[in-house]
């Protein structure tokens, strides 16, 4: 993760390795998205870059999509995760759960994983533990196909937030 914001022009001038290293974390532990995006530059804006990255994921195989979804951490757990995920979950208060809340999240996470075989994913920026828990309960009712699509939509939101934190236009 980069601490200084970069201009879109700087992103456009990067070689493939620098581009992949700089943007590889945008999609959690899936630098292949950035690597495939590089050949589509130049990008006119953050929105343009984001749209291309979404297109790369949409055009990927089902196995690649599932690997992308499975690369995300389980919400409200104490597992090791990427720095960006730690910050995002902390911002939603998921690092300050009571014992009962933590156990409730663990049960929901397990029920979700048992049904879908991947972790619950939600763009938690601007959310709190109550809205997240309600979304988990709601989305447990979806079909596996619908939930994979919803998980990808949430990943796209996360990627957009991360791009906005990294790049200025």
User: What is the C-alpha to C-alpha distance for residues 77 and 51, in angstroms, rounded to an integer?
Assistant: 31
User: What is the C-alpha to C-alpha distance for residues 75 and 151, in angstroms, rounded to an integer?
Assistant: 13
Instruction: Enumerate the active-site residues.
Output: 72
User: What is the C-alpha to C-alpha distance for residues 92 and 124, in angstroms, rounded to an integer?
Assistant: 6
All residues at 6 or more sequence positions from 124 whose CB lies less than 8 Å from its CB, including other chains? 75, 88, 89, 91, 92, 94, 132
Q: How many CB atoms lie within 10 A of CB 54?
A: 19
């Amino acid at each position: 993760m980069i601490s200084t914001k970069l201009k879109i022009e700087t992103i456009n001038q990067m070689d493939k390795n620098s581009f992949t290293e700089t943007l590889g974390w945008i999609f959690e532990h899936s630098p292949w998205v950035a690597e495939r995006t590089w050949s589509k530059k130049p990008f006119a804006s953050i929105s343009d870059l984001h749209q291309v990255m979404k297109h790369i994921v949409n055009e990927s195989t089902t196995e690649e999509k599932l690997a992308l979804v499975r690369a995300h951490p389980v919400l409200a757990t104490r597992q090791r995760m990427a720095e960006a995920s730690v910050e995002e979950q902390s911002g939603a208060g998921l690092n300050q759960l009571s014992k009962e809340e933590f156990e409730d999240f663990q049960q929901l996470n397990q029920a979700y994983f048992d049904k879908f075989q991947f972790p619950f994913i939600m763009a938690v920026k601007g959310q709190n533990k109550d809205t997240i828990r309600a979304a988990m309960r709601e989305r447990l009712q979806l079909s596996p196909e619908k939930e994979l699509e919803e998980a990808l939509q949430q990943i796209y939101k996360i990627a957009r937030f991360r791009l906005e934190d990294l790049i200025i236009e």
